Amino acid sequence: MTDTKSKVLVTGAGGFIGHHLVTRLKQSGYWVRGVDLKQPDFEPTRADEFLLLDLRRPEDALAACDGVAEVYNLAANMGGIGFIERYKALIMHDNVLINIHMLEAARLQKVERYLYTSSACIYPGYRQQVTEVAPLKEEDAYPADPEDGYGWEKLFSERQCRHYHEEHGLETRVVRFHNIFGPLGTYEGGREKSPAAICRKIALAGDGDEIERTAVEKKIRDARARSTR
The kind and range of the H/E element at 198 are: helix 194-204
CA distance 218 to 214: 6
Q: How many domains does the chain have?
A: 2
* Whether residue 71 has pLDDT greater than 70: yes
Domain assignment present for 173: yes
User: Which is higher by pLDDT, 206 or 164?
Assistant: 164
Its domain, for residue 104, covers: 4-177
78 and 154 in a single domain? The answer is yes
User: Which is higher by pLDDT, 216 or 148?
Assistant: 148
Instruction: Give the lowest-confidence range in 127-136, 161-170, 181-190.
Output: 181-190
Domain assignment present for 189: no
204 and 146 in a single domain? The answer is no
CA distance 23 to 30: 10
CA distance 137 to 140: 5
Q: What percent of the chain has pLDDT over 90?
A: 63
* Whether residue 217 has pLDDT greater than 70: no
* pLDDT tens-digit series, residues 119-133: 999 999 888 777 787
73 and 20 in a single domain? The answer is yes
129 and 221 in a single domain? The answer is no
How high does pLDDT run on average in the chain?
A: 86
* Whether residue 152 has pLDDT greater than 60: yes
pTM: 0.80
118 and 66 in a single domain? The answer is yes
Single-letter amino acid, residue 1: M
* pLDDT tens-digit series, residues 31-51: 999 999 999 988 999 999 999
Domain assignment present for 185: no
Domain assignment present for 188: no
131 and 201 in a single domain? The answer is no
Domain assignment present for 182: no
Average pLDDT, integer, range 57-80 = 94
150 tagged catalytic: yes
Average pLDDT, integer, range 65-80 = 93
CATH number, residue 113? 3.40.50.720
Q: What pLDDT score does 37 carry?
A: 96
Domain assignment present for 210: yes
User: Which is higher by pLDDT, 159 or 195?
Assistant: 159
* Whether residue 29 has pLDDT greater than 80: yes
Instruction: Give the lowest-confidence range in 53-67, 72-86, 163-177.
Output: 72-86
Q: How many C-beta neighbours within 10 Å does residue 126 have? A: 10
Domain assignment present for 44: yes
144 and 202 in a single domain? The answer is no
210 and 159 in a single domain? The answer is no
Q: Are 17 and 177 in contact (CB under 8 A)?
A: yes
149 and 210 in a single domain? The answer is no
Write down the catalytic residue from 123, 150, 164, 187. Answer: 150
89 and 200 in a single domain? The answer is no
Domain assignment present for 36: yes
> Using 50, 70 and 90 to split pLDDT, how confident is the model at 227?
very low
Q: What pLDDT score does 208 carry?
A: 77
CA distance 165 to 171: 6
